[in-house]
Amino acid sequence: MEKEEPLSQLTGKTWDDSAVRCRKVPQNIPVVSKDKNSPTHGHVSEDDTQPSNGSYTQDSASHHHYVSPSKVLLVLVVGLSFSTRLYKIKEPPHVCWDETHFGKMGSYYINRTFFFDVHPPLGKMLIGLAGYMTGYNGTFPFIKPGDKYEHHNYWGMRGFCAVLGSFLPVFAYLIVLELSHSHTAALITATLLIFDTGCITITQYILLDPILMFFIMAAVLSMVKFKQQRYRPFAASWWLWLVLTGMSLAGALGVKFVGLFVILLVGLNTAADLWRILGDLSLSLVDFGKHFLARVLGLILLPLFLYVTIFTVHFAVLNKSGPGDGFFSSAFQSRLIGNNLHNASMPEYLAYGSTITMKNLRIAGGYLHSHWHLYPEGVGAKQQQITAYLHKDYNNLWLVHRPNKTQSGSPDLVRHGDLIRLEHKETTRNLHSHVHEAPLTKKHHQVTGYGINGTGDANDLWQVEVCGGHKGDLVKVLRSKVRLRHRATGCVLFSSGKILPKWGWEQEEVTCSPYIKETPSSQWNIEDHFNPKLPNISISILKPNFLEVLVESHIVMIRGNSGLKPKNSEMNSKPWHWPINYQGLRFSGVNDTEYRVYLLGNPVVWWTHLFSLALYLLMVSVASLAIQRGLPLAAKRVEHARVLKSGGGLLLLGWLLHYVPFYTMSRILYYHHYFPAMLFNSMLTGITLDILLKSADLLLRPPYCDWLFRFGLMVLLLAVLYSFYLFHPLSYGMMGPLSHEPGSSMAGLKWLASWEF
Amino acid sequence: MLQLPLVVTAHIDVLLLVLSALSLWTRLSHLSSPRAVVFDEVYYGQFVSLYMKRVFFVDDSGPVLGHMILALGAYLGGFDGNFAWNRIGAEYPSGVCVWSLRLIPAICGALCVPLGYLLTLELHCSHLSALGAAVLLLLENSLIVQSRFMLLESVLIFFLLLALYSYLRFHNGVHSPTLRYAWLLLCGVCCGAAVGVKYTGVFSYLLLLGVASLHTWNLIGDRTVSHVSHRMFQRINKVLTNQRRADSCVCMCVQLSVCVQCVCRAVCLLLVPVLLYVFWFYIHLSLLKHSGPHDQLMSPAFQSSLQGGLSRITRGQPMEVAYGSQVTLRSSASQPMPCWLNSHRANYPIRYENGRGSSHQQQVACSPSKDVNNWWIIKDPHRRGLTVDRPPRPVRHGDVIQLVHGTTSRLLNSHDVAAPISPQAQEVSGFVDFNVSMTAQDLWRLDIANREAESESWKSISSEIRLIHVNTSAGLKLSGSALPAWGFHLMEVVAEKHFRADAVSFFWTVEEHRYWTTEGPAGADGGSQLEDKQTHRSVSFWTKFTELQRKMLTVKQEETEHKYSSTPLEWITMETNIAYWMDKSSNAQIHLIGNPVSWGVANLSLLAYHIIVSVYLVRRRRGFRDLTEAAWQHFVCVGCVCVGGWMMNVLPFLLMEKTLFLYHYLPALTHLHLLTPALLEHTHNHLLSSLTHQRALRVCAAVALLLILCSYWFFSPLTYGCPELSANQLQVLRWRNSWDFLLRRQ
């Protein structure tokens, strides 16, 4: 009695499921076999209506569970959604917030200039394409927020984002309809999204978020549709939705890495689906293998192929040197037209007296760098900092000297095993190391800049070693992997990749590692090489193949992403702020004379979301308890419980996957990161409130409970509309005094002191 | 009633006794050698000393019970707290009873071995498996090292194992409900204790909660149990009246209704641990009465509840700030160093290093030291005088005031000039009239943030205030940057227009407060005639608890890498060791290093379990029942406890950004050692059908045990710190290149 174990729970659950599923089968079809999922003809004709083609059969019309989208409602949703998003799309006619980044990157695509960004390229490519198609020529510099666009054609890019953003309420409507088979639930969801000021604002500007959310919602919609096709596997529509799911996943991941969360959601769902098919003993293992392979093809290989294609296009389009070069290896840079390594010409072998830059060979390794700043008190010896820096800069230049100061006339070549002294050109300090703990990697020694005008001490001597070389080998520029071994302590110059704190200008740490290992972190190559006394020779570098480029750019992106640490300002937003709509983001304008746009969710909508989240948990636990205890329930309640558990469960999982991971992230976070999660939350709200209102008959007798249902619905819709009327200036722009002053258009609406409008 | 003859029947598990004895011997022998501070003893020791002196401290690394347990050992050994814990390797003076400091962790560590034995039995494994599990724990060098010093992991592991054991006793129990729920209560107590020792105990607690809620869920689904039963009471009455039916207890435990059982479980597993956790803090706060080194981290209200320190200064000072009051203003944002609003006879440089100009008026900054320049006088802008009326006129929320600097008589001023370090904010200065058409803008509106009424008066210590500049509506703020040498490296103070309601850097508190009335001084220097004089402030326990808890969770110590720190993935393969101690003159040394053979065995069995369970799952899904239902349940249960416990204790660390050490892995390792014998038993009974194979397995297990014994013996010089090893012997022991052993140069 007391010894129930997980499995009995599991089996119990499948039985419940089957019971529910049996109930779905219409009365006139006798349930013949025990296997519920076998694609018998009866099931196919009964259960599958094709909402997309709009024609529904007599059977399904009589069957109240399956509802195809009502055309009137759908048209209404589409119309409202597009009109709210496209209204005042050109306002304000200046750069707002992150448009300065993404607009600029769109321009880079039009100009074909290489740049570096922490996000994958699809979103910016689409923005660039939209701009290109609408006659923007890529000349606007997007220097800082607030710059006037003047004659430049910016509306095309904004309009593109807004159009994609307008699909969100439509997709949400269709998803909820599919999951709950209830027009009311779908309508509630669509209303909440259409009239949410936050959702409007974030989709009206040149940002990645509308594109990302479009793909996320498209992926969820096609996944849900695909699930509905399960009674006719391998049919054309089955394949269609599978392929659409895969394409949307690739799109989501191609815009931002946040797309991984929706991939996880689809992945978990697919795994559960496969597990169900595996348990269906009427299917042979070969059938299971087919199902499995189809999903591998549609949900793994196809997205992967598309994702790689995106990068192929990215690298093919961007072929000119630009601001992002320094983040990449020397070999990579040689691909870019205009880079000094493109068809480079320089002295071939390293010589004494040369001016050089050294780049670390780990992926996304920086240039050996120094500047006029000392290590602070308490961090080793208080000498000049040596760092690794990702940008090209004159502070990356070093002079190669012999150990003793005498400069011989003719430039001798440096050989493997030679002792050299590296002098920082700008500050005339020598590269120096000694037995002190390095600032971050405590197991390594500190590296400093020491001495004046090139005179230092014995700790400034480094032995040049070419990896795989022998004594006397020459050091090839660009092609040799060089290791610098400290003469006195025997450690090697090492770039740990860790970011120094503020005192080190957030550049990367350089240490001297006593552990001699063949790692790229301790290998450097000589990238620039100037020596007036030697002839320049054209050097062709081994061009990297596409796979190497792909891997390298990903590692650079991931590094860049984790490098975005919050600064010590109070502006950083915490994940718990988001669902309670604690604080928004200023998109444009600060003072009362400026045109102000403030990204903030409609508080009535957002707090309804929060409330329904709690309500959902309560309702689903009551329902599960009732079922687990075996209480006799009416068929309607069982259906409600099923919708809550499976449909709501899917949405709750989506919400959790798009929200919880932010708690573990150490990078800087913004309010707008919550919007994908908010979409899931609003769909959950639709389902929850619908079922809550439909359960009114628990309280009242039949005629009155319908009245209560309608009344509740009206109150909800009116409240949303009225609050939208109140808060719409947040999205469509405010002028005049700030809200805490009387006479403002938002007077009295600053409900939380933390809102800044 | 007594039944005669009086017979006592005792079942003694000799195996258990022998194991306990061996375990005590391995953990307790030569406990006081080395007589020197070993590794983190240097860290925990300072808190033990503070307990002995009953001085308040804040430790953000863990909750309070662990420190208290260590302090108890010290207290019993008569340690007086007079030892400077300044470095690892320092010799203990002769007066310190070293073994008493280390006794409690060692005993807890020793008890883990018999607990492992009992736990394996409770998992329905054979005595042989239980013996195996106990031997694995017994011969684990890392567990031995960690138990033998004044460290907390062994205490944590002890509570975790005891919690699991008592839960399984409850779950498997066929006793009367009273006894079963006594076990559950013990489980709750252990959970509370484990979380109280180290926050990492939460992971295992969550696992236990998960298992318990699954069991409860199944109980709810059990339709033979009534919802809310009246029959239960009838049964109890029947039992009480009818003593003969002793076996009716079994019947009754079925009849306990679902509601009652659920409530009991919730109380034991949720309420009891939470209450206990709070209770540890209650003891902590009632023990530590005196002010100490960490006072400054706490709010003035908290500080004034401690004896000595701030309370000595603030005792007897007037409560309500009045016009004419002399105050020091402490910034609420200055963590970890406190600082007070300060001005001094030096002006801002006319030009800064980067070429920007300043107002050249007197500097205002935030000073981390208490000095006479921190005093400010509250002035009514409409009056000339600086004295306090009789009766004093309190300053209220919304009042406009001026602040006069005590030693220089400059007025606190702000204007539209960029601040020295943060140019986006306004400069704050002591106003000097240079006759350059810069008029004084020295009016400030008082904004009491934690007011209860709109006309609330300004109270010293308790009111958190903002000063809003009247002309520009900017708030006085601690910017967080330090001024350069011309500003004596004080903290920069600015005025900023856009502030959030909760931005703590805008908050200031009056700390010291005194005033002179027209008749003479009042406040700290005497002035007993004032009625609102505050006597001893009492702060409720809840206020103190929440503040302390928040401080412990939010105070961030600087994240630096330690020489011996490691990452979770390195633990699994034991990539790094930790040097704990080295003798001053010889090569004798102690390292935290596990038994390599048993780690390997544990990892193998972890892998094997995963493979076996996935094969079983897929085959079951396809309708092949390889195991009987009972055997399958048993197999899943073993997995939940051992593999689940391992995962819960490893995976969260992967997401953490803290500096981590090998000893964080020990709770997970303990779970893993319980898995190996159970898995072997399962393989032996269910997977191997032929007798030869079974025999081969037995031989393999025996050989593995022998190897484990050997490697324990091999590494024991590094575990116990004796005998001394030569350089060559150390080289032989260095099985991995990444291990760091120390060598003294001859």
Q: What is the DSSP string of A673-693?
A: GGHHHHHHHHHHHHHHHHHHH
Residue A401: φ, ψ to 5°: -125, 160
pLDDT of B156 over the 80 cut: yes
Q: Which region among A166-180, A415-429, B214-228, B339-353 has the lowest average model confidence (pLDDT)?
A: B214-228
* Gap between the Cα atoms of A288 and A298, Å rounded: 15
Is the pLDDT at A72 greater than 90, yes or no? no
Mean pLDDT, rounded, for A476-481: 81
**Greater confidence, A59 or A134?**
A134
Give the Cα separation of B692 and B684 in Å (integer).
11
**Predicted local confidence at residue B557, as pLDDT:** 58
Q: Which residues contact B178 (CB under 8 A, 6 or more apart)?
A: none
Phi first, then psi: give them for residue B219, nearest 5 degrees.
Answer: -60, -40
Chain B nearest C-alpha distance from A513 (Å): 13
**So what's the pLDDT on residue B209?**
95
Q: How many CB atoms lie within 10 A of CB B21?
A: 12
Best CA proximity match to A449, nearest among A428, A464, A435, A418: A428
Per-residue pLDDT tens digits for B202-216: 999 999 999 999 999
Mean pLDDT of B264-293: 91
Mean pLDDT over A218-244 rounds to 92
Nearest to B561 among A6, A442, A590 (CB): A442
Task: Name the band, by pLDDT with cuts 50, 70 and 90, for residue B452.
Answer: confident
Residue A272 C-alpha, separation from nearest chain B C-alpha, in angstroms? 13
A6 and B621 in contact by Cβ < 8 A?
Answer: no
Q: CB of B555 within 8 A of CB of B336?
A: yes
Contact A7 B217 (CB under 8 A): no
Peptide bond into A376 cis (omega under 30): no
What mean pLDDT do residues A347-362 have?
Answer: 85
* DSSP for residue B481: E
Interface of B with A in 560-619 (CB under 8 A): 560-563, 618
Record: contact A279-B501, CB cut-off 8 A: no
pLDDT at A410: 63
Note the residue count of chain A.
757
Mean pLDDT over A573-577 rounds to 84
Burial B115-145 (b: 16+ CB within 10 A, else e): bbbbbbbbbbbeebbbbbbbbbbbbbbbbbb
Is the separation of the CB atoms in A127 and A336 below 8 Å? no
pLDDT at B608 over 60: yes
Average of per-residue pLDDT values in chain B: 84
Q: Please say whether the beta carbons of B257 and B236 come within 8 A.
A: no
Question: In angstroms, what CA-CA distances link B418 with B363, B403, B414, B494?
Answer: 13, 21, 10, 9
> CA dist B642 to B210, B603, B615, Å?
14, 12, 19
Task: Collect all residues of chain B within an 8 Å Cβ-Cβ radius of residue A625.
Answer: 220
Asked if the peptide bond before residue B423 counts as cis, ω within 30 degrees of 0, the response is no
Distance CA B175, CA B177 (A): 6
Q: Do A568 and B480 touch (CB under 8 A)?
A: yes
Mean pLDDT calculated for residue range A202-218: 93
Q: Which chain B residue shows the shortest CA-CA distance from A288?
A: B622
pLDDT greater than 90 at residue A36 = no
Quote the ipTM score. 0.73
- Cβ–Cβ below 8 Å for A629 and B258: yes
Of B253, B622, B636, the CB nearest to A5: B636
Nearest Cα neighbor of A596 from A431, A411, A755 is: A755
Q: What is the pLDDT of residue A22?
A: 37
Q: Which of B555, B537, B511 is nearest to B58 (CA)?
A: B555
Q: What tokens does B265 get? A: 């479980």
- Write the residue in A2, A5, A629 that is nearest to B633 by C-beta: A5
Q: Angle at which helices B666-682 and B629-638 pack, to 10 degrees?
A: 160
CA distance A281 to chain B (A): 6
CA distances in angstroms from A467 to A388, A416, A481, listed in the order given: 21, 9, 6
Ramachandran class of B473: left when φ > 0, alpha when ψ lies in -120 to 50, beta otherwise: left
Q: Looking at the predicted structure, is the pLDDT value of residue A35 above 70?
A: no
User: Could you write out the DSSP letters of every residue in A337-380?
Assistant: BTSTTTT-EE-SB-BTT-EEEEEE-STT--EEEEEEEEPPTTSS
Chain center to CA of A611: 28
Q: Quick one: average pLDDT of B467-484?
A: 84
Distance CA B99, CA B418 (A): 62
Residue A56 pLDDT class (50, 70, 90 cuts): very low
Question: Which two tokens mark A705?
Answer: 């409970």
Percent of chain A with pLDDT over 90: 31
**Between residues A250 and A346, the one the model is more confident about:** A250
Interval B353-368 mean pLDDT: 84
Pairwise CA distance, residues B512 & B340, whole Å: 11
* Lowest mean pLDDT, pick from A44-58, A507-521, B60-74, B247-261: A44-58
Contact B220/A756, CB-based, under 8 Å?
no
What is the Cα–Cα distance from A75 to A170, expressed in whole angstroms?
A: 9
Residue A418 has pLDDT above 80, yes or no: yes
- Rounded to whole angstroms, the Cα distance separating B593 from B564 reads 12
pLDDT at A222: 95
Q: What is the pLDDT of residues B25-81, one digit of tens each?
A: 999 988 888 888 888 888 898 889 989 888 888 887 788 999 999 999 999 988 888
Q: Reduce the DSSP state of residue B329 to 3 states and report it.
A: strand
Mean pLDDT for the stretch of residues B661-670: 93
pLDDT digits over A427-439, tens only? 888 888 888 888 8
Tell me the two tokens of residue A311. Answer: 């990068």
State whether B217 and A628 contact (CB < 8 Å).
yes
Rounded percentage of chain A residues whose pLDDT exceeds 70? 87
Cβ partners under 8 Å of residue A298, min gap 6: A239, A242, A243, A245, A246
For B226, nearest residue in chain A (alpha carbons): A629
The mean pLDDT of B14-30, rounded to a whole number, is 92
pLDDT band for A442, please (50, 70, 90 cuts).
confident
CB A396 within 8 A of CB A371: no
CA distances B721 to B92, B109, B717, Å, are 17, 18, 5
Q: Identify which has the larger pLDDT, B357 or B711.
A: B711
* Distance, CA of B404 to CA of B412 (rounded, Å): 6
Cβ-based contacts of B214 with chain A (< 8 Å): 6, 9
Say how many CA atoms lie within 13 Å of A163 toward its Cβ. 9
pLDDT of res. A585 = 83
List pLDDT tens digits, range A76-102.
999 999 999 998 888 788 888 888 889
Distance (Å) from the C-alpha of residue B500 to the closest C-alpha of chain A?
5
Beta bridge partners, A538, equal A345
Of A100-109, A405-414, A492-501, B731-740, which gets the smallest average pLDDT?
A: A405-414
Closest chain B residue to A584, measured at CA? B500
CB contacts of A664 in chain B (<8 Å) are: 655
pLDDT digit string (tens) for B531-566?
444 444 567 888 888 888 888 887 665 556 677 888
Give the count of Cβ contacts less than 8 A between chain A and B.
Answer: 79
The C-alpha atoms of residue A410 and residue A95 are separated, in whole angstroms, by: 56
Is pLDDT of B231 > 60?
no
Q: Which residues of B touch A494 (CB under 8 A)?
A: none
From residue B446, give the alpha-carbon distance in Å to each of A311, B396, B402, B463, B465. 58, 7, 10, 11, 7
From B421's Cα to the closest Cα of chain A, the distance in A is: 14
- Substitution target in B422, B451, B504, B561 with the highest count of A β-carbons within 10 Å is B561
Q: In this complex, is the C-beta atom of B654 within 8 Å of any C-beta atom belonging to chain A?
A: no
Average pLDDT over residues B327-333: 84
pLDDT score of B23 more than 80? yes
Separation of alpha carbons A147 and B671, rounded Å: 61
B interface mutation test: which of A1, A3, A5, A288 has the most B CBs within 10 A? A5
Burial (0-12, 13-18, 19+ Cβ within 10 Å), B228 = exposed
pLDDT at A653: 95
Answer for the pair B582, B721: CB distance below 8 angstroms, yes or no: no
Distance from CA of A756 to the nearest CA of B (A): 8
Provide the pLDDT for residue A45. 36
User: Is B500's CB within 8 Å of A753's CB?
Assistant: yes
On chain A, the residues whose CB falls within 8 A of the CB of B629 are 7
Other C-beta atoms within 10 Å of B376: how many?
23
Q: Which two tokens stand for residue A201?
A: 């604002």
The reply to whether residue B218 touches residue A9, judged by beta carbons under 8 angstroms, is yes
Chain B, nearest residue to A281 by Cα: B622
Contacts with B223 from chain A: Cβ below 8 Å? 629-630
Model confidence at A41: pLDDT above 50:
no
Provide the residue type at A706 as one letter. Answer: D
Distance CA B432, CA B444 (A): 17
Q: Which of A9, A281, A630 sits opposite B623 (nearest CB)?
A: A281
Confidence (pLDDT) at A565: 67
Task: Give the pLDDT of residue B482.
Answer: 80
**Residue B5: Cβ-neighbour burial (10 angstroms; 0-12, 13-18, 19+):** exposed
Spatial contact of B679 and B646, defined as CB atoms under 8 Å apart:
no
Could you tell me which chain B residue has the CA closest to the CA of A6?
Answer: B214
Residue A639 distance to chain B (closest CA, Å): 20
B509: closest CA among B452, B470, B467?
Answer: B467
Chain B residues touching A441 at Cβ < 8 A? 561
Contact list in B for residue A442 (CB cut-off 8 A) is 560-563
Question: Per mean pLDDT, which range of A141-155, B212-226, B510-524 is the poorest?
Answer: B510-524
Give the pLDDT confidence score for residue B153 in this predicted structure.
92
- Summarize the confidence of residues B163-184 as an average pLDDT: 88
Helices (H) and strands (E) in chain A, counts: 22, 16
| pLDDT confidence bin for A587, thresholds 50/70/90 | confident
Amino acid code (one letter) for A676: P
Asked if the model's pLDDT at residue B168 lies above 90, the reply is yes
* Angstrom distances, CA of residue A491 to CA of A398, A439, A486, A526, B560: 20, 16, 5, 20, 22
Q: Which two tokens stand for residue B504?
A: 């703590």
Which pLDDT band, with edges at 50, 70 and 90, does B111 fall under? very high
DSSP A322: -
Gap between the Cα atoms of B396 and B457, Å rounded: 4
Out of A45-59, A417-431, B732-746, which region has the weakest mean confidence (pLDDT)?
Answer: A45-59
Q: Cα distance from B190 to chain A (closest Cα, Å)?
A: 23
At residue A509, the 3 state secondary structure works out as strand
Model confidence at A37, in pLDDT bands (50, 70, 90)? very low
d(CA A448, CA A446): 7
As beta bridge partners, residue B411 has B404
Asked whether residue B644 carries a pLDDT value surpassing 70, the answer given is yes
Residues in A touching B227 (Cβ below 8 Å): 629
pLDDT, tens digit (0-9, with 9 covering 90-100), for B391-404: 788 888 888 898 89
Does the beta-carbon distance from B561 to A1 stay under 8 Å? no
Nearest CB neighbour to B502, from listed A6, A285, A754: A754
- Residue B355 per-residue DSSP state: S
